[in-house]
């Protein structure tokens, strides 16, 4: 034994350095169903709350504690009402993300990570539905309905936005462990 050729250290787990087995077709199908179930739940909740907001909040906002309120806003920009006029670009990106999740999930082992991806997918598609089916100019030119306001320091948002943020945090937190 020389310094140039140190002995190999046995870790005790010969699988530690190997790639894990790919998911079976059944596991991939189960992950896709979980992803779709979470996404559909987010989409339904998002669209129901937006329909309620459009019906009940067209006048004065409903004030809540600590400066919060339910305030109806028609957002033609991107997140936090930035990027006015770029709605179609963000709509196409959201569609790509939503469809891409079905491809990505085939390699995801942790169910909680699939849950986070489902939140992101549902939120993205929920906002695309607004852009596609609400009154607006041209392709995906409709306004996204925002109505949740938390103080004067945070932009008005909706359930889809909250799902995207929470899902993104889950993906980052769990993805960093992988």
Burial of 174 (0-12, 13-18, 19+ CB in 10 A): middle
Spot the catalytic one: 135, 137, 152, 161: 161
CB atoms inside a 10 Å sphere around CB 93: 14
- Per the model's pLDDT, the better-predicted residue between 20 and 138 turns out to be 20
Residue 21 has pLDDT above 60, yes or no: yes
pLDDT, average across residues 39-63: 92
Q: Determine whether 161 is an active site residue.
A: yes
Question: Backbone dihedral region of 112: left (phi > 0), alpha (psi from -120 to 50 degrees) or beta?
Answer: alpha
Integer Cα distance of 77 and 84 in angstroms: 4
Residue 47 has pLDDT above 60, yes or no: yes
Contacts with 119 (C-beta within 8 Å, 6 or more apart), sequence order: 38, 39, 42, 163, 164, 166, 167, 170
pLDDT digits (tens, 9 = 90+) for 56-103: 888 788 888 888 888 999 887 766 556 666 667 777 887 788 788 888
pLDDT digits (tens, 9 = 90+) for 68-78: 888 999 887 76
Q: How confident is the model at residue 173 (pLDDT cuts 50, 70, 90)?
A: very high
Q: Determine whether 146 is an active site residue.
A: yes
Q: Which tokens sit at 131?
A: 């852009």
What separation in angstroms does the CA of 47 have from each of 12, 24, 30, 148?
52, 34, 26, 14
Spot the catalytic one: 19, 46, 146, 152: 146
Write down the H helix ranges in 7-86: 25-56
Domain boundaries, the chain: 25-175
Strand pairing partners for 83?
Answer: none
Look at the pTM and tell me if it is higher than 0.85.
no
Q: How confident is the model at residue 15 (pLDDT cuts 50, 70, 90)?
A: very low
CB atoms inside a 10 Å sphere around CB 105: 22
pLDDT, average across residues 23-34: 91
54, HSE (Cβ side, Cα atoms, 13 Å): 14
Contacts with 127 (C-beta within 8 Å, 6 or more apart), sequence order: 46, 90, 91, 94, 144, 158, 160, 161
- Per the model's pLDDT, the better-predicted residue between 95 and 167 turns out to be 167
């Amino acid at each position: 034994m020389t310094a140039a050729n140190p002995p190999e250290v046995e870790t005790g787990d010969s699988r530690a350095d190997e790639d894990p087995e790919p998911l079976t077709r059944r596991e991939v199908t189960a992950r896709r169903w979980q992803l779709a179930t979470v996404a559909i739940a987010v989409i339904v909740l998002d669209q129901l709350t937006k329909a309620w907001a459009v019906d009940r909040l067209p006048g004065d906002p409903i004030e809540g504690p600590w400066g919060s309120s339910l305030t109806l806003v028609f957002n033609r920009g991107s997140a936090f009402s930035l990027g006015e006029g770029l709605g179609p670009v963000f709509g196409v990106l959201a569609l790509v993300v939503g469809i891409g999740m079905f491809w990505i999930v085939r390699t995801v082992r942790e169910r909680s990570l699939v849950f986070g991806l489902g939140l992101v997918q549902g939120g993205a598609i929920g906002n695309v539905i607004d852009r596609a089916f609400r009154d607006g100019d041209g392709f995906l030119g409709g306004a996204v309905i925002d109505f949740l306001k938390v103080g004067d320091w945070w932009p008005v948002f909706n359930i889809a936005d909250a799902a995207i943020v929470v899902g993104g945090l889950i993906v980052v937190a769990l993805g960093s462990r992988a």
